Structure 1
């Protein structure tokens, strides 16, 4: 098992290696495998990339992202400008369902609202607006419509977990309540936990995943 000090060093190395992150003003601390990121980044996308980089490191059991997005003067923009660019980004990248999504911006915080056909559509919408200049944060409240009978969901998720080459599903339990899913059990790494979460979300009909899987110490 990696020590907290080893995890800290590896996270710092990963942050320095990632070309989308300027780790100059980022401080990393680790306690019992849980990483805390503090300091300053210069865009929301950089804040998101820093968190993703930390999650990629073996031995990380959780991440607390306390990074502050402090935009440089050149990136400061009004809410209407941000909203217009976000709408245009959605129309350009997601023309099939962009009109089902509403954009609300307040003090640089961008909120996505509406209903789309799948969880992947929901993720794509957040991805489309993440790099809009001037955005300080993205709150994704878009809902995914269910198109699969609830009774089929449990079986489909269990089968998906068994098929995955990236995780051992033996210690994962799936509970389904209608279109909402609860995952329980233990895995060996944060990457495995994420893969289980993604496998559940990829299942048609799932509208919510409560991931209670823990990473073994």
Structure 2
């Protein structure tokens, strides 16, 4: 098990390594493997990148985010401008069925809702909006509607996809299904395998939730 000091040191190094972040603006506190990020960043996308960077560090068990977005004056936009730009960006993204989605903006905070069939459509929409000028936060209320052929097929398809991924990852991962929720447990070698397993689970039609109980070891 890695110590809190080791996790903190690695995370601070990763934040410094990420060129889009000002590591001096972000404070890192670690206790029992739980990371807290605090400070101020000048855009929502930098907050998003800092969160993903923290989750990718070996040994991190959970993440608490106390980062605030403090927009420079040059980045401030009205809610109406943000809403118009958000709708335009979605309509120009070939991966996003924008006609099924709705945008609400309040004080720079975007709430996106609606229904799509696949998780990649949902992720594409969220990613497209995260880097817009003036955005201070984003709430994702998009619902997935595509249903699996059968409950058994959902679990079987995910297990088959894990086998196709190669290596020896799949024998060490257990796939547990409860309705449209998939829980992944077991062990993987590194965070790359962990992320790959979760992406594979999300690709299965009908999955609404993926619970990650995977351990790195």
TM-score, structure 2 normalization: 0.89
Q: Alpha-carbon deviation of 1:145?
A: 1.9
The answer to whether residue 106 in structure 2 is matched with residue 106 in structure 1 is yes
Instruction: Between the two structures, name the one with larger relative contact order (CA 8 Å, sep ≥ 6).
Output: 1
Structure 1 residue 126 displacement after superposition: 0.3
Question: How much does 1:82 deviate?
Answer: 0.8
Per the alignment, residue 55 of structure 1 pairs with 55
* Aligned ranges 1:76-115 → 2 under 5 Å: 76-94=76-94, 97-115=97-115
Tell me the equivalent position of 1:132. Answer: 132
1:8–1:76 Cα change, 3 Å: same
In the alignment, is the contact (CA less than 8 A) between 1:146 and 1:179 conserved in 2? no
Cα distance in 2 for partners of 1:80, 1:180 equals 36
RMSD of aligned Cα (Å) = 2.2
2:146 aligns to what?
Answer: 146
Report deviation, 1:57. Answer: 2.1
Cα distance in 1 for partners of 2:5, 2:18 equals 20
Would the aligned equivalents of 2:43 and 2:69 in 1 still touch at CA under 8 Å?
A: yes
TM-score using structure 1 length: 0.89
After TM superposition, the structure 1 stretch with the greater mean CA deviation from structure 2, 11-20 or 178-187, is 178-187
Task: State how many pairs are aligned.
Answer: 216
Asked if 1:201 corresponds to 2:202, the answer is yes
Is 1:173 matched with 2:179?
A: no
Instruction: Label 1:19 to 1:167 Cα distance change in 2 as closer, same or farther (>3 A).
Output: farther
Deviation at 1:71, TM superposition (A): 1.0
Work out whether residues 96 and 121 of structure 2, in 8 Å CA contact, stay in contact via their aligned partners in 1. Answer: no
Unaligned runs of 5+ in 1: none
1:25 is matched with which residue?
25
TM-aligned CA distance change 1:166 to 1:204, over 3 Å: farther
Deviations 1:28-81 (A, max 9, x none): 112222221111111110000011112222222222222111111221222111
Q: Is there any run of 5+ residues in structure 2 with no aligned partner, and where?
A: none
Contact 2:104 2:110 in 1 (8 A): yes
1:44 aligned to 2:48? Answer: no
Question: Aligned to 2:58, what secondary structure does the other structure show?
Answer: coil
Query: What's the CA shift for 1:3?
Result: 2.3
Deviates more, 1:28-37 or 1:47-56: 28-37
Shift of 1:195: 2.8
User: Retained in 2: the 8 A contact 1:4–1:32?
Assistant: yes
Verify the 8 A CA contact 1:7 1:60 in the aligned structure 2: yes
Distance in structure 2 (CA, Å) of the matches to 1:31 and 1:95: 40
Task: Give the equivalent residue in structure 1 for 2:72.
Answer: 72
Call closer, same or farther: CA 1:96–1:57 in 2, change over 3 Å.
closer
